[in-house]
Structure 1
């Protein structure tokens, strides 16, 4: 089962690029972030015509997450538990059944800039809520995949110029510590489990020729519960997508599970 995460940076603007990648890469499941679309306006037919079931949790103009799946999705829930007043569309869950049922969590973690400030506080509190949910999912003893744009650079080797990020919310110690607390529950960074090389990035800014200079960062991650990690057969980053027509500033990151 090929499962990918892809921050599409606006589904309307990138629909042709996304459709072309789906046709070429043929993932069974895709977790999208920043669809920037209300549920009723999401262009479902483009993906349903390709055999995907579609579930969305959107809002107008920004944020928004979605799941596309070749297999039926069950027990779909929307919104990260822990704060009933949080109306930002950043979390969606569903179960997909193959050889093994896999619980999928698609997430768009807050950016947190400028830091310090209320946006950074929201990021850290959101990560704590995510940690609580991730801990609860472990208790279900099923394969769990936490996939999305984490807006966290885990280590220095995950940035071409780590020194440029030392005051940014994506690389501040508190952000990296929040990610480690989730991993320390027993979750595995799927890409790093298969590829330890530096210079492997999933995001390049549109500004200052970042793509041409390979001035990137790795902020799109798939964390696996122990049951999911046992099924891991491969992982990769579809870097070439960034060089296509009207690309997102992110590229797909994927795993292959024996599920």
Structure 2
């Protein structure tokens, strides 16, 4: 309970200091920084399964964030997004039927969202690139090995992880860019059987993977190696199985002729 009391004390200071409508830009930065640190603390509480404490701090923040709306310069749609994301996370923490993983995902949504609202340079969601590309790699492996179970599990993982990062993307991306990603994820979900069996649909999957790669790993130059080879080259970042898939993808790119039916 000591950690819970400390978090509430800091929150009271944040909201108390933020009340004056004439607060400076320095104050705005300070308050966002404090809230960002608190969401990190809440995530840590969730990690050690202290859900009641985490939910209490989160609920207090959600109830009182309206008082610092002017200081934080929240637009109406951002305010609604914050309130919904916080409320959804509190609900998940209070649901005994939800798994630890699902609860942490909801706390991660909050963490990434607040960071995106605070940070203009290198937001945290940018660091989830490998996490977001992993399902695409596994789906490709499922297709190449005719493993429908692995494919569907990876598709489900993509939906779950995209849901986690999407609130932060709503802050930082243009509407058309977010819509493109939404359409990709929806396409994967609704066309699973076709993707498994049809080359044209598989090309759509590759396009989706490329767009996600472009967002999370922006390339300065086209001569850079493919992300799949990059994943392979960074030892220990993901499992050895995925590294092997990355190697196979890289070798496959070198031997494109093997993918094309013989026209002789």
TM-score in terms of structure 1 length: 0.30
Q: Whose RCO is larger (CA < 8 A, sep 6+)?
A: 1
Indicate the structure (1 or 2) with the bigger Cα radius of gyration: 2
Q: Give the structure with the higher percent strand.
A: 1
Q: Give the structure with the higher percent helix.
A: 2
